[in-house]
Homo-oligomer: A and B are copies of this chain.
Amino acid sequence: MAVTKVEVRSGAYYDSVVLMQLQRSLAALPGVLDAGVVMGTDANKDVLAQSDLLTPEAQAAGADDLVIVVRAEDEAVAQSALDQVDELIAARRRGGVEEEYFPKSLESAAEMMPDARWVLISVAGRYAAGVARDALRLDKHVFLYSDNVSLEDEISLKQTAAEKGLLVMGPDCGTAIVNGVGLGFANGVRRGPIGVVAAAGTGLQQVTSRIHQLGSGITCGLGTGGRDLSEEVGAVTIRQGLDLLSRDPETKVIVLVSKPPAPKVAEEVLRAARRAGKPVVVEFIGYSAPARQLDNLHFAATLDEAAELAVQLAASPPAAEPAADLNLERFAPGQRYLRGLFSGGTLAYEAQLILKGYLPGVYSNAPLDKSYRLANSLVSQAHTIVDLGEDEFTVGRLHPMMDNDLRIRRLYQEADDPEVAVVMLDVVLGYGAHPDPASELAPAIAKARAQAEEAGRYLEVAVVVTGTDEDPQDLNAQIQQLKDAGAWVETSNEAMVRYVGRLVRALDQAANPPPAETMKPVDLDVLHQPLAAINVGLESFTESLKAQGAPVIQVDWRPPAGGDEKLMAILERMKKK
């Protein structure tokens, strides 16, 4: 009859590779049916229970205890297996890279290999932040594989790093590729023109693997850890990465991969990406992008598509958008708002949606989001788009596609507002609509513009004409009349709204230049110097770096103060002095 026996070792610390090897060695002993070797956390005990390995002694173990369970054919076999535990651990340590000399501390490792600019950390989560702090004190970049690190630690580590021009990738960063060398889990990817920054480890692996499969390659793949784009952390590492890749002349296209960030952070990150001066493929997995493309940003819907887009863009770089001649100096100080006076409800809706890519928010009587509902549909506030075809305006009154009276009155009202820079109008042609809308709107546009000019301002009027050359109104003549009145005319709503979005965003930026970046720039060398590293934690990462030909030194790390948390805190305070 099968017998299950347990040994609990309090406060024992072993590398998790050692634990896995021990479990396998135990399970492989003759007569042993199953074995479990885990730290005694609740989750791990649940796992033991699933395999029918949870005895009362194991159940009683604490999170810091090492639990060794053996189920064997009989009592003697089980006991004999447990008796061999120390021997099996020792056997493991004699194999592998044991014969070399391992320094006992990060400091001595750094002295032994002064060229090592990186420290890889994969010790248990509760010790990881301390090691990372030591690494930053030594002016090393950090690849922090460990998970179960607190948010507070992540914030303080990244702040320190940003002040010193250093990178902290992680915690819970699975993957990076720096100057051709993979850190943590990383695929063999050829060199090429694409730089990747990712807050998603296997996202980075899937995208870089697909880039390789498609025949292209990367300059680097920078990881950040999944929490980097939380509001608390504020995307410090993502922004450092974008800044690095923007400055890197070898990177022609940037790919940005993450789960959808907090909205405020998404806005900041996209703003940073827009300043990159090169195409950026954005894959915020599951994010509702305002459009496929926004200036230099290209939104992908899946990881595969992100890779495909990046390869396409690298192969045939889009012509740099001609610095749209926005002539900001035409406008008077204080002119900054747009006002959209639409007859088409869908066009008004799409306009608000596209403007999400340019402006924080647009008020409307038919808003995308209730918090931007106009208090009074007849009075604009800040950026406003009014749908004049809404039910409230059409009781006993013709639709604004037939009757321009209300729209023209509102146009004059907007032109009088010293904060208004642009008015958008839609002119919908076709059967059923006004037989000659430009005959009324063109003079009104000219008058509104003159009105603003008299007041020392410039009023831009942008118009989309929706129609075809088979419409009864004569499309081209309508467009010409509107142009003659000084309007900016497009035949696509999207094109018109994008023009206005760019213009209003530029006016805003001219009036409120973004605050200068307070982070110290990371030296570009980090991408191009041969990678050398100090590894603290999983020995397999040392082996992996060696296999890739990168100089590496393994630290024979043990928890400080024997893992005693109070003593650790005292030691940490002493270091800070």
Contacts and interface: CB of A to CB of B under 8 A. Distances in A.
Interface of A: 16-17, 19-20, 23, 38-39, 41, 43-44, 46-47, 50-51, 63, 66, 124-125, 147-148, 172, 174, 182-190, 200-206, 209-210, 212-213, 226, 257, 259, 285-292, 299, 301-305, 343-347, 349-350, 353-354, 368, 376-378, 389, 391-399, 401-403, 405-406, 409, 413, 426, 428-433, 466-472, 491-495, 538, 540-541, 544, 547-548
A54 B201 CA distance: 65
Nearest to A208: B468
Contact of A285 (B63, B209, B353, B389): B353
Contact of A368 (B203, B204, B286, B426): B286
Given A185-B432, A345-B226, A350-B203, A287 B288 contact: yes
Contact of A544 (B20, B399, B432): B432
A180 to B, nearest CB: 11
A269 B389 CA distance: 27
Given A368-B286, A391-B172, A397 B16 contact: yes
A376 B42 CA distance: 12
23 contacts: A20-B403, A39-B397, A43-B395, A50-B413, A148-B391, A148-B394, A187-B468, A188-B430, A200-B345, A200-B349, A202-B428, A202-B466, A205-B344, A206-B350, A210-B492, A285-B346, A287-B288, A291-B301, A302-B494, A304-B493, A402-B540, A431-B547, A431-B548
A303 B431 CA distance: 21
Given A210-B492, A291-B302, 12 more contacts: A16-B396, A39-B395, A41-B395, A43-B392, A50-B409, A125-B391, A213-B491, A257-B346, A285-B353, A290-B301, A303-B346, A303-B350
Contact of A378 (B46, B471, B493): B46
A205 B428 contact: yes
Task: Point out which of A190, A287, A344, A409 has the most chain B C-beta atoms below 10 A from its C-beta.
Answer: A344
Nearest to A491: B213
Given A346-B202, A347-B202, A547-B472, A147 B394 contact: yes
Contacts of A287: 288
Contacts of A212: 468, 470
Contact of A187 (B20, B402, B467, B541): B467
A369 to B, nearest CB: 11
A353 B406 CA distance: 46
Contacts of A23: 405
Contacts of A185: 399, 401, 428, 430-433
Nearest to A200: B346
A373 to B, nearest CB: 15
Contacts of A38: 396-397
A471 to B, nearest CB: 5
A84 to B, nearest CB: 20
Given A394-B148, A398-B17, A431-B185, A289 B301 contact: yes
Contact of A431 (B44, B186, B257): B186
A438 to B, nearest CB: 16
Nearest to A124: B396
A402 B541 CA distance: 11
Given A202-B466, A395-B148, A397-B16, A303 B430 contact: no
A405 B20 contact: yes
B471 A187 contact: yes
Contacts of A205: 344, 428, 430, 466
Given A302-B354, A396-B44, A468 B345 contact: no
Given A213-B468, A470-B190, A350 B432 contact: no
Nearest to A342: B202
Task: Point out which of A368, A398, A401, A430 has the most chain B C-beta atoms below 10 A from its C-beta.
Answer: A430
Nearest to A545: B431
Nearest to A257: B346
A119 to B, nearest CB: 16
A351 to B, nearest CB: 10
A118 B495 CA distance: 36
A489 to B, nearest CB: 14
A349 B44 contact: no
Closest 8 CB pairs of A and B: A202-B344, A188-B470, A39-B396, A288-B288, A203-B346, A187-B430, A200-B346, A185-B432
B398 A16 contact: yes
Contacts of A399: 174, 185
A426 B547 CA distance: 24
B494 A303 contact: yes
Contacts of A548: 431
Contacts of A209: 466-468, 491
Nearest to A182: B431
Contact of A47 (B201, B406, B541): B406
Contacts of A172: 391
Given A185-B432, A285-B353, A206 B466 contact: yes
A121 B500 CA distance: 37
A128 to B, nearest CB: 12
A429 B226 contact: no
